[in-house]
Structure 1
Amino acid sequence: SIDSGFATTGTAYYFNSSNSKISTIYGSTVEVWSVAQKSSSSNRSIAIFYVGHDGSNAPSISLYAKPINKTTNLASPGTNISTKGLIYLGTLYNFSYTVVPANVGVHNGTGLFELYLVNSTGTVCQSAELYLYLNVSTSLVTIGFLAVISELFAFLIPLLAIFSAYLYYAKDKTNGTMESILSRPVTRGRLITSRFLSNVVVSLIALGGGIAVIDILSSRYTGVLLPAYQVLDIIWAYFVIATAFIGLVYFVSHLTKSTGVVLGISIVFYIVLVLFWSTLSSLLLPLALGLVPGTIPYSHAYLIINAFSPIGYANIVTTYLEGNIIGVNFSTLGVSFSEILIVGIIWLIFPFAAAFTLARNRDWVASN
């Protein structure tokens, strides 16, 4: 983000950021702060604003930076300094506002630098301590990525799965269109299986493509692509959600011949398992069971209760990728990814297996 504000000639203001500084120099106003670079997630740029006492632009000013290690002795404006050992960033002429890419690298591991604006006589016009390099780790990108897509996908994926299952299968099943297909040499078991497989394959392609595109677009601003295994884990989690809700709609369509009832029950599933699940689990664990967030018993219960919902399963995968559950390290819980995988497979199979059983029973009744 960029700090912004207004300073009149002859006054001094400090902005709401440790990365900005403004002061008056010989009747002129000079402000300097660091801003993000679109082309780099780590390197910062330096924004400089200058207003002369008579409204004129800035004279020739050179930029220098010095990495800060443990201590700093920042030279004050108006003093002369030696530029020996400083990193030269360039010289600016006749400007009122400009942005200069720093591209200084990390140097000291913190990215914190002394920054000096020096005129042609070697006098400091402005000085500041700025972060010109930010370490952007893959773990931070993962957390940010999950924060962006988890809420959006948790809301949209089940809804899209419900309506796709309704259009692929439930609508034809309840309004009688399916019976015309069954007059041909095909069983209900084969029909529901073919519809289900085509439904989930389309969902998988859409999910995989969507998540890959989001990852690529976000990397333009973070400079970091998620590791392939994390992308696959995320795709897997939301594929489980989509497949589970598709299976539930297929199952409901065999319990009634009303399209309205199918949609109504499916929306109830959506409300309970999506909209209210996080609230229900967050209230149940501390209030009903007396568990304290941030403890191992709470974390174990969190995993167990979320295993009973497709959305909860995505929460489990998310916490696994983030590495903690409300301050508890995931590795201390004794839960492996293979166990998480098994829970997902159950959600993939169980709803459709129930729907398939009802369809096969109709085949058995019809043949006897």
Structure 2
Amino acid sequence: MKIAFYGSSLLSSYWNGAATYYRGILEQLARHGHHITFYEPDAFDRQQHRDIDPPDWARVVVYPATPDALKGVMDEAAEADVVVKASGVGVFDDELLDGVMRRGRPHALRIFWDVDAAATLDEMRADPDHAVRRALPGLDMVLTYGGGDPVVNAYRGFGAVECVPVYNALDPQSHHPVPPDPRFTADLAFLGNRLPDREARVEEFFLKPAALLPGRQFLIGGNGWDSKAMPGNVRHRGHVYTAEHNAFNCSPLAVLNVARDSMAHIGFSPATRVFEAAGAGACLITDAWEGIEMFLTPDEEVLVARDGQDVADHLAALTPERARAIGQAALARVRAEHSYELRGRQVDEILRDRSGRRAARQHQMEGA
């Protein structure tokens, strides 16, 4: 099938945490025989910070962030069998959602793919005229980055015909163990951009342990932290490119995952970083969120912290031997159960099944 996918960026992870998620799933869909065109705007300096060249498994259309260019890429939705609008494109989001769904062929499958469902649902609760709320009756389904039953039930409550979580996963070709890199040496490292709904949790789970353990070394990577006041034992690396993630994860004693406020509240939404770290064989310490057992077993494959004191306690007690054992156990688990090969198979089955159903309904309507 021809898939027209309108998202933030496939080529750049700069201020775009969904990039590796898109790459992992869409590459697998291409392997299942689908023809993918990914439409991304030239915005937020992402094209100046590309992680990859256009891949051979997708056609990538980078369009200027202007109304005229927007109309041109929206018109191409009429050529697709599956039209996907992802959340968080960053420019013309509402216009894109309405425009590509209206332009889709009658038999085309129409999907909203929410890569930040907790935030979108909060917006929808606050705004009865939200663009996604208006669009739901005309969509075949909603796919989400995660969220489990709480997100599924919420979307169904807003009128979605169907909502299916497609969780983050591991691409073992991209994320795997590598030798340590002195640039990323630390006792605890955290990678994530500075965002309003994450900052307080980073203060609690990362900066507080740093203050509690002044003799240990901490490393933070990601955009926006250069102006943040931090303890003297914290180093800031700035943007860490996707190609550097393996070294970033393999060099410290342990790696920290901190969920954003909304994701931690809903649970069942492991970030890309969880699988990248586990795939590199890193010892992962994560803040507590509901459903983690679906992905990694606490105390065996991951260390779970309720607050900053727990992080400090885990780190103080952690030996290189135990860190290595936890990392290896996590690596085995995600390779076996949480690969993008499996996620791609899941989405392929969904697309073929729902497309067949829609075609049958369309045939019945035309014959009536």
Q: Tell me the TM-score normalized by structure 2.
A: 0.23
More helix by percentage? 1
Q: Tell me the TM-score normalized by structure 1.
A: 0.23
Query: Which has the higher Rg, Structure 1 or Structure 2?
Result: 1
